[in-house]
Amino acid sequence: MSAKLLELRDITFTYKTAQRPTIERLNAEVYEGEFLSLIAPSGAGKSTIFRLLMGLEQPQHGEALFHNNNSAMGYMPQKDLLLEWRTVLENVTLPLELKGVNKKEAKTIAEPYFVQFGLEGTQHQYPRELSGGMRQRASFLRAMIGGSKLLLLDEPFSALDAMTRLHMQDWLQKVCRDLNLTVILITHDMDEAIRVSDRILVFSSSPMSTYLELSIEEPHPRANLETLAPFKQQIMRQLFSGVDSI
Ligand SMILES: Nc1ncnc2c1ncn2[C@@H]1O[C@H](COP(=O)(O)OP(=O)(O)OP(=O)(O)O)[C@@H](O)[C@H]1O
C-alpha cells in the first residue's frame, strides 16, 4: 500500500447563498501514485471538492490535510484554456515562468516532454493549429510541468470524440504511471473511470458525503473489456440508489 498523500477530514462546506451544504462530513484519502476517479450526479459538488483542495473555498468544518511538504497541485479544466496568442511551447512553460524561471531555462525543461506527450514538432505552432486531443495533451503537460505531483482533472476529455477519447484515456493512464503522478479525475463517464482508475468513489446524491468505494485490482479490466460490466453495474446501482424508477 502506498503512503497517504492527502486526507479530506470531516469536511462540510455550504456556499454562502445556498440553503444546504454541498459537502457534508466528507472523509476520504488519496494515496501517492494512485489514479482516483470521482463519479457523482451532475451538480452534486464534484468541482466544489477541487475548489476546496485548491484553497479557492474554505470549509466551514474539517480540513484537507497534505501528508508531504509539496502541496502544489496541477489543475486541468474541461476546457483547455490554452492562450491562443502564445505558441504551444510558450503555453506549456507558463507555470515555470510564473514561478520565476527564465524563459530560456523554462523551454529547456519543457522541450524533452514533447515526445512523451505526443506533441513533437508542435512547439512553435499555435493552439488553433492542434487537434482536440493534442490541445488536451498540451494542457495536461502545462498542468504538470510546474512540478506538481498531484493533478486535478475536471472532465478533461468530455469535448473529445469517442475515438480520440479512448486513445487519450490509455495515454493518460500510462503517462501518469510512468511519471508517478497522483491523479484525481472527475468524470461522468463510467467506462472512462473504470479504464483509467485504480480506485473509484461513487456518490449517489448531494450533499456529497458517503460513497461507494471500488478498488480495481490487477488484472485491470482495461486489458479485457468484457470484465468492465460488473464494475459498471455496481456504479449504476450506487448512482441510482436514491431513485425509485428510471
Ligand atoms: N459559487 C457558487 N455559489 C453558490 N452555489 C454554487 C457555486 N458554485 C456552485 N454552486 C452550486 O453548488 C452545487 C455543486 O456545484 P459543482 O459545480 O461543484 O457540481 P458538479 O458536481 O461539479 O457539477 P457538474 O457535474 O454539473 O459539473 C450546484 O448546485 C451549484 O449550482
**Domain residue ranges of the chain, discontinuous segments joined by +:** 1-72+150-246, 80-148
pLDDT digits (tens, 9 = 90+) for 157-184: 888 888 888 888 998 999 999 999 999 9
β-strand partners of 12: 61
As a whole number of angstroms, the distance between CA 209 and CA 26 comes to 5
Selected residue with higher pLDDT from 127 and 224: 127
Give mean pLDDT, residues 35-57: 93
Q: What pLDDT does 105 receive?
A: 95
Q: Does domain 1-72+150-246 fall into CATH 1.10.10.10?
A: no
Looking up cell 495536461, which residue turns up? 140
Give the pLDDT band (50/70/90) at residue 1: low
| Comparison of pLDDT for 52 and 70, the residue scoring more | 52
Neighbours of 207 (CB within 10 A): 20
Cell representation of residue 159:
469535448
What average pLDDT does the chain have? 90
pTM: 0.91
Among 14, 16, 22, residue to substitute to test ligand 1 (most atoms within 8 Å of Cβ): 22
What separation in Å is there between the alpha carbon of 207 and the centre of ligand 1? 11
Q: Is the peptide bond before 77 cis (omega within 30 degrees of 0)?
A: no
Nearest to 84 by CA among 138, 122, 128, 51: 128
Close Cβ partners of 214 (under 8 Å, ≥ 6 residues apart): 199, 200, 201, 202, 231, 234, 235
pLDDT-above-70 percentage for the chain: 96
Name the residue type at position 246: I
Read off the C-alpha cell for 167.
486513445
Lowest mean pLDDT among 54-58, 99-103, 186-190, 215-219: 215-219
Best mean pLDDT range from 65-69, 76-80, 96-100: 96-100
Q: What share of the chain is helix, strand, coil (3-state, %, to 5)?
A: 35, 20, 40
Return the best residue to mutate from 11, 15, 204 for the ligand 1 pocket (most ligand atoms within 8 A of CB).
15
